[in-house]
Amino acid sequence: MSWLDDPLDDEDEPLFDESDVRVRPNPKANRPRTKRRPAHEDATIARVLGVDRGRYTVLAGEDTPEERQLTAVRARELRKMPIVTGDRARVVGDTSGEEGTLTRIVGIEERTSLLRRSADDTDQVERVIVANADQMLLVVAAADPEPRPRLVDRYLIAALDAGIRPLMVITKTDLADPGPFLTHFEGLDDLRVFTSARDETPVDEIGAALIGHSTVFVGHSGVGKSTLVNALVPTAGRATGHVNVVTGRGRHTSSSTVSLRYQGEGGSGWVIDTPGVRSFGLGHVDPANIIRAYRDLEPVAEQCPRGCTHLADAPDCALNEAVAEGALPASRVDSLQRLLATFKDRTDY
């Protein structure tokens, strides 16, 4: 018998619809995951003050009666983004600031500046130090430990490359005359310099320069940076150390970067204290920007032949000729040439 001879009519066939389909229940009783993320339009903007073992201390409601500190974690989608002191973070969740509460960072506002360094001059992997700073205060000792002009040059290049205004404090001037060291920077007219002795720290003068600014403090270990921070912000409680009499090196005392509010008679500002370093790589900096950081040398360098390396053996280099004629200090040109030499073998130069 053929199926064509089936005596059943179409009207006798059973009817089926979607309601007859059995769907396996969701054992976790949750909704399917989606790649669409919420906009978080109601997020609160907060300043990142510091980070400790994956927990961020942020300040919400800055300069308002509702100002409060929160503890936050980063959202999963930000796991590859560096969040650093000075960032303006977008936070959601419990933003009351009450003890035991935890909020979540879901975004970072656009940064106005970013201070970076690398492990060495050949390493182009950058380490972000601080965000949104508009000033850098270089702390240098006149002695114990001896000042390092070329390390200071590196700080200045990193600051100018990031669009940050540099300032300098010379500490321990009761131990040595800072004059010979300062001749190295005679051409930098826009570099403001403060001097400090053991019992004569110009706290009010330095503090006045901090009002209305976010200033990152940097310096070699043992130069008195933490001591200066404690003088400016008495509640800071930053650890201080001493210089090893054998090696002449300072001991790292500050182990983390933290933002502290400076409160002066004319207003307030932010002091961002960073750990002391003994090296400051510029692998992330375009070598072409190095000469621009030496503003006193740049006009002379513009007179060099096209493609001039500005090194000591460069033919017809206007910088070398100016040194020979006594028109430029040899120490400044030597500092520039040493930095340029570190980039000499880089393929992107």
State residue 55's pLDDT score.
93
State residue 207's pLDDT score.
96
State residue 107's pLDDT score.
94
Question: What confidence tens digit (pLDDT) does each residue in 108-153 have?
Answer: 999 999 998 877 766 666 788 999 999 999 999 999 999 988 888 8
Q: How far apart are CA 238 and CA 217, in angstroms?
A: 13
Question: What confidence tens digit (pLDDT) does each residue in 320-334 have?
Answer: 999 999 999 888 898
Q: How far apart are CA 304 and CA 27, in angstroms?
A: 75
State residue 221's pLDDT score.
84
Answer yes or no: is pLDDT of 303 > 90: yes
Average pLDDT, the chain: 83
Confidence class for position 244, pLDDT limits 50, 70, 90: very low
- Residue 89 pairs in a beta bridge with 46, 108
- Residue 346 pairs in a beta bridge with none
pTM: 0.77
State residue 141's pLDDT score.
95
Compute the average pLDDT of residues 258-279.
Answer: 89
State residue 348's pLDDT score.
44
Q: How far apart are CA 138 and CA 178, in angstroms?
A: 14
**Which run of H or of E encompasses 321?**
helix 318-324
Neighbouring residues of 58: CB distance < 8 A, sequence distance ≥ 6 = 46, 47, 48, 49, 69, 70, 71, 72, 89, 91, 103, 105
Neighbouring residues of 251: CB distance < 8 A, sequence distance ≥ 6 = 221, 222, 241, 242, 243, 244
Question: What confidence tens digit (pLDDT) does each residue in 1-48 have?
Answer: 555 555 555 555 555 555 565 666 666 666 666 666 677 778 999 999
Q: What share of the chain is helix, strand, coil (3-state, %, to 5)?
A: 25, 25, 50
Question: Does residue 185 sit in helix, strand or coil?
Answer: helix
Q: How far apart are CA 205 and CA 213, in angstroms?
A: 14
Lowest mean pLDDT: which of 50-54, 81-85, 279-283, 321-325? 279-283
Lowest mean pLDDT: which of 13-17, 46-50, 171-175, 188-192? 13-17
Answer yes or no: is pLDDT of 287 > 60: yes
State residue 255's pLDDT score.
57
61: buried, middle or exposed (CB in 10 Å: 19+, 13-18, 0-12)?
A: middle
Tokens of 176: 């040595």
**Which run of H or of E encompasses 181?**
helix 179-182
Answer yes or no: is pLDDT of 201 > 50: yes
Answer yes or no: is pLDDT of 283 > 80: no
Compute the average pLDDT of residues 76-84.
Answer: 90
Single-letter residue type at 38: P
State residue 270's pLDDT score.
97
State residue 302's pLDDT score.
92
Lowest mean pLDDT: which of 173-177, 290-294, 296-300, 322-326? 290-294
For residue 79, the Cα-to-chain-centroid distance in whole angstroms is 18
pLDDT, greater one: 80 or 347: 80
